[in-house]
Structure 1
Amino acid sequence: MMELLYNLDINLLYAINGINNYWLNILMIFITNTTYLTIVLIMALIFSKNRYVFLNISIVMVLIAITAYGLKYGINEPRPYYVLNNLHLLVPMENEPSFPSGHTTFAFGLWTAIILNLKKMNLKKELNNIILTVLLIWAFFVAFSRIYVGAHYPHDVIGGMILGIIGALIYNKVSNRILKNIITS
């Protein structure tokens, strides 16, 4: 069973990474290279709308980062381009371990944290749905881009999705308690 999953993972990596379309290459490189900038810009927008939500999501994202990088270095899985041949590498090689995908973890963590805090931002309901849909599509593009550019295995991005979502669900509760204690002190 494990061998079957491993082969499926590798075959899916080669299938996605092997697409090699000029315009898709440009788009995937752009998405992968601007993920963290996009997160910063979204956080700046949140700061301008509601500082409590900004602080809450900031705490969530820091805790997710600590967890993701703890897992990365605890598991210490090499990137696919150090292990496999014939990958179409579209971004510079990174030295940090592969599992989980940090880009994907943060994209899905941010999406989930925003879902959990959107009502506190007092936006129009129609706008809420648009924001959540656009962010979810963006998060999936981030995940896909990490495989497409050759930086991650499919299981890295699936792990990142799960970690981002579950991490945000758990850490949002932790963050609310922290902020509640600070505000009432």
Structure 2
Amino acid sequence: MTIRRQVRQSAAVLSNRILLAFLILAGLTWTFFSLADAVFENETDTFDTLVVLAFRNPADLSDPFGPIWVEEMARDITGLGGLAVLSLLVIVSAGFLWLRAQRRLAVVLISAVATGTALSQFLKFGFDRARPDLVSQEAAVYTASFPSGHSMMAAIVYLTLAVLLARTLHGKVAKAYVIAVATLVVIAVGISRVYLGVHWPTDVLAGWIIGAAWALLFGIVAKWLTRDDRLATDMAD
């Protein structure tokens, strides 16, 4: 196989992957707005109520289900999606990428988080959904409920970092492991928000969906920005 033909095949594979990613992105976007429409048509009220109450002691709705250490663990986990932890993680990761001469990827990471934060606030302001009032809230809240900011930003940060890290790894198992760990952290953060009574489950679902879509979008950007490096590697091989 000639080098020119190999490069053309690599470019075609890359283009097909980017096209598939855009199709998934479109599907996630459609799902988010479909969910938002259902929420504000009150079609999810029964589901939201059942899930929130499932995390509470039926005899005392101010008491989250389980022993006190479970409640403390939930607060620890929810902190993984908080502003301080995510900001520190992004700064450290971007600095590492910059020192490794991966400056484009550092910019991609910072851009994903900065624009994601702005989008989260814009959506909260636009939808302006009230927080759950069925149970006591076990964590401080300052903004509207839909979508969940912790869930959305956790998805953006952890999934974007997982995608960027996976690009440096060899072997499908290692890549799948990194992405699976990031996904589990995102899921845990979202569940902790419902457990603590500060979000409806549909808030969390919406946060996961739009956060994953945003991470995917910037994953596409990262792949496009580093396409020349990929082609150069294929030529060297």
**More deviation in 9-18 or 136-145?**
9-18
Structure 1 runs (4+) deviating above 6 angstroms are 175-180
Q: 1:115 to 1:134 in 2, by over 3 A?
A: closer
Partner of 2:198 in structure 1? Answer: 151
Taking structure 2 as the reference length, the TM-score comes to: 0.63
Q: 1:178 to 1:127 in 2, by over 3 A?
A: closer
Asked if residue 5 in structure 1 is aligned to residue 53 in structure 2, the reply is no
Q: 1:4 to 1:101 in 2, by over 3 A?
A: closer
Select which of 101, 108, 121 maps to 1:69: 121
Q: 1:51 to 1:40 in 2, by over 3 A?
A: farther
Deviation at 1:133, TM superposition (A): 2.1
1:83-108 CA-partner distances (Å, limit 9, x unpaired)? x23x142212x231000001100111
How many residue pairs are counted as aligned between the two chains?
174
For 1:30 and 1:47, the matched residues in 2 are separated by 25
Query: CA RMSD for the aligned pairs?
Result: 2.8
For 1:79 and 1:67, the matched residues in 2 are separated by 19
For 1:110 and 1:137, the matched residues in 2 are separated by 13
Partner of 1:110 in structure 2? Answer: 157
Select which of 38, 54, 61 maps to 1:15: 54
Partner of 1:183 in structure 2? Answer: none
Spell out the pairing of 1:15-164 with structure 2 (5 A cutoff): 15-17=54-56, 18-36=64-82, 37-43=84-90, 44-49=92-97, 50-80=102-132, 84-85=133-134, 87-92=135-140, 94-120=141-167, 122-125=168-171, 127-164=174-211
Deviation at 1:53, TM superposition (A): 2.1
Deviation at 1:123, TM superposition (A): 3.5
Deviation at 1:168, TM superposition (A): 2.1
More helix by share: 1
Deviation at 1:78, TM superposition (A): 1.1
**Contact in 1 for aligned 2:166/2:178 (Cα 8 Å):** no
Q: 1:95 to 1:111 in 2, by over 3 A?
A: closer
Q: Determine which structure has more spread, i.e. the larger CA radius of gyration.
A: 2
Q: What secondary structure sits across from 1:35 in the alignment?
A: coil
Query: Which residues of structure 1 form unaligned runs of 5+?
Result: 181-185
Partner amino acid, structure 2, of 1:47:
G
Query: Which residues of structure 2 form unaligned runs of 5+?
Result: 1-37, 57-63, 228-237
Q: 1:66 to 1:171 in 2, by over 3 A?
A: farther
Higher relative contact order, structure no. (Cα contacts within 8 Å, ≥ 6 residues apart)? 1
Partner amino acid, structure 2, of 1:63:
T
**Contact in 2 for aligned 1:63/1:171 (Cα 8 Å):** no
Taking structure 1 as the reference length, the TM-score comes to: 0.79
For 1:46 and 1:131, the matched residues in 2 are separated by 18
